Amino acid sequence: GEDVEQSLFLSVREGDSSVINCTYTDSSSTYLYWYKQEPGAGLQLLTYIFSNMDMKQDQRLTVLLNKKDKHLSLRIADTQTGDSAIYFCAEGGNQFYFGTGTSLTVIP
Amino acid sequence: DTGVSQDPRHKITKRGQNVTFRCDPISEHNRLYWYRQTLGQGPEFLTYFQNEAQLEKSRLLSDRFSAERPKGSFSTLEIQRTEQGDSAMYLCASSHGTGTDGYTFGSGTRLTVV
């Protein structure tokens, strides 16, 4: 469960949808998580998905899980400038393994 | 409860000095975690406690690092004989039970070793 990969950068225009992708390695992970980190701040839990689900929607956020391909994605609808941040996916149990983060820039 | 608190927010120290950081978790959370985050990377696990017991330590936690949670409430992380490679953000998190619904992170302590 130590290889969690994400693309490093994503730019979108305000109002468009953003899709942040993540691949993980530990098929035994029961839950998978998305965190948001703004500059100089700690990590804020956005949402999580149980491994026996393939989709979870929470307001503007949609998480898709393809367990066969070990692929997780986070879709942010109607992206706003306040969504600019680094987004981390994480898997794990007693300890979490985080990806390197995707820096999302929203262009006004 | 105001969430997970970490103190100090920033620490600049000279190489070779000892530093200690404090974390106050959410009061009803029995698990407390320490992570380290370097620039451009995701957080890396260091150690975690369940109540006062330290249950797991990463190989990243060298002999110069020690963490305690004496009464099962706040925790301290001490780094002895600091090195420049210790410069990082040290993040504390807490959870209720095994944290399947996620951890709550503090804002971190940024350590700079000069």
Distance, in Å, from the CA atom of A97 to the CA atom of A19, rounded to the nearest integer, reads 21
Q: Which helix (H) or strand (E) holds B7?
A: strand B5-7
Report pLDDT digits (tens) over B29-58. 999 999 999 988 999 999 999 999 999 999
pLDDT at A51: 85
Cβ(A72)–Cβ(A90) below 8 Å: no
Residue of B54, B55, B95, B103 to mutate when probing chain A, most A C-beta within 10 A? B103
Q: What is the pLDDT of residue B1?
A: 55
Looking at residue B31, its pLDDT comes to 94
- What average pLDDT does range A33-38 have in this prediction? 95
Considering only CB atoms, B98 lies closest to which of A40, A41, A93, namely: A93
State pLDDT tens for residues A6-16. 999 999 999 99
Q: With an 8 Å Cβ cutoff, are B45 and A48 in contact?
A: no
For residue B82, what pLDDT is reported?
Answer: 98
| Percentage, residues of chain B above pLDDT 70 | 99
pLDDT at A1 over 50: no
Contact B105 A94 (CB under 8 A): no
pLDDT score at A2: 64
* pLDDT 10s digits, A46-59: 999 988 889 999 99
**CA–CA separation, B39 vs A15, rounded Å?**
29
- B4 falls in which pLDDT band (50, 70, 90)? very high
Whole-Å CA distances, B32 to A12, A65, B103 = 36, 28, 9
